[in-house]
Every structure is written in C-alpha cells, then in structure tokens.
Amino acid sequence: MKSITATKPLEEIVDSLGKARKVALFGCGTCPAMMGTGGLEQVLEMRSNLEGKGFQVIHDEVIPVACEMLPYEAKEELVKRARAAEAALVLSCSLGVRQVCSYLESIPVLPALNTLFIGVEEEGGTFVEECRQCGDCVLARTGGICPVTRCAKSLFNGPCGGSVQGKCEVDPSIPCGWQMIYDRMKALGRLDMLMEIEPVKDWSVSWHGGPRTIKLPE
C-alpha cells in the first residue's frame, strides 16, 4: 500500500513560497521515493530548480518515513538544521507535510506534491485506488471489491447497465467495478447476496465537517 503523489508545477511551488528566499527541503524515503516524486533524486532536482529561480536552499534531507513522528532527538536535530530557513518545502504526501509542520512551527511548511490517493500495486508499477475511507465499509457484501472506489458512479446497487465487455461506460479504459464484483461473487457462490438491495449509505460517518479522529485503546 502506498501513498500516491504527483509533483506540483514548479510555478505553483514558487508562488506558494511567496517572499521566502531561504528554503529547507524535505523528501520522504518511503512512498514518494518509490514513486519517484520525493526521494533523494527529486529533492536534489528541486534544489537545483529553486536555485535556478533565485532561492537559497539552506538544507535538504530525506526523512526516512516523513508521515511518522520523529523521535524527540531526531526532531530537535531537524529543527536545528532548518533554523535559518524562511520556509520549508516538503516532497511527501500531505501526512508528511503535516508532520514537518508540527516540527517547524514558526515558518510556513509547504507541499511540493499533490496527494492523489492510497494505492495498492496491481501489476508491475501500476497502483490502483482501492478505498476512499468512507467510514462504513461494505466489502463484506461486495466480494472484497469496493463499489465506492471501483465504480465510476460509486453505485451501491450496480451495475448501471452501461458496461460493455467488462469495461466501464464512463471510461472504457477501466474495468467495470460491478462486473468485477459480480465475477467475484459468482466465484464465491454468493450471487444471492447481490439480490439484496443495499440501503442508502450513511455518509455522515464519512465526513462531518471536520477531521475524523480516533483514539487507540491504551
């Protein structure tokens, strides 16, 4: 499972830096390094791009796992190394940006990447979105295939009828999610479950106007 990211246009990044001229760069050695969006190579490339635009890159490093909280000593070291920066630019998913924000409280911490989705590798190098964190999982009734994510219309009682040869009518380059669900349920001998009408989804558990939080048991 990987956080799938894409690099923002350089002009957008430069614009977000505003008046800051001294910049600290942080990459992430995990998902973005593997995706080729935020590893050492991309951090050095960003350094060169920013220097070409007149910025002074006062520090660069790749945090091994940017989305995880650093131990106290490592955090203190990071703060020390970025002390002279007027802004920090983070080449990681939004969770990594949030973590670096929590270390560097007195300067703007900006994303260099767009976080697209959480993906699972399906075949060599191709990642597919599998879950939208809707808060009320229905995989037990759909053969482990998510209708919210895999159906272009997020239908709970599919298929829509437009599928042609197993492809989606909205985008014929992608498999019809409901065809996948049907095939899986057939293989499981549970097609009867698809005859049950799925009630209207309670989206209130998906989003309620603020960040969802959960406290792990002690």
Binding site for ligand SF4 (CB under 6 A): 131-134, 137-139, 146, 148-149, 151-153, 155, 158-160, 162-163, 168-170, 176-178
Which of 39, 177 has the CB closer to ligand SF4?
A: 177
Q: Read off the DSSP letter of residue 164.
A: B
3-state secondary structure 103-119: HCCCCCEEECEEEEEEE
210: tokens are 């603020």
Nearest Cα to Cα of residue 178 among 204, 157, 199: 157
8 A C-beta contact, residue 2 and residue 66: no
Which of 111, 158 has the CB closer to ligand SF4?
A: 158
Minimum gap (Å) between residue 90 Cβ and ligand SF4? 26
* Residue reference for tokens 């048991």: 217
Give dist(CA 52, CA 33) in Å, integer. 23
Minimum gap (Å) between residue 134 Cβ and ligand SF4? 3
Which of 28, 134 has the CB closer to ligand SF4?
A: 134
Minimum gap (Å) between residue 147 Cβ and ligand SF4? 7
Cis preceding linkage at 159, omega within 30: yes
Minimum gap (Å) between residue 208 Cβ and ligand SF4? 15
Which of 22, 141 has the CB closer to ligand SF4?
A: 141
SS3 at position 214: coil
Minimum gap (Å) between residue 127 Cβ and ligand SF4? 16
Which of 22, 153 has the CB closer to ligand SF4?
A: 153
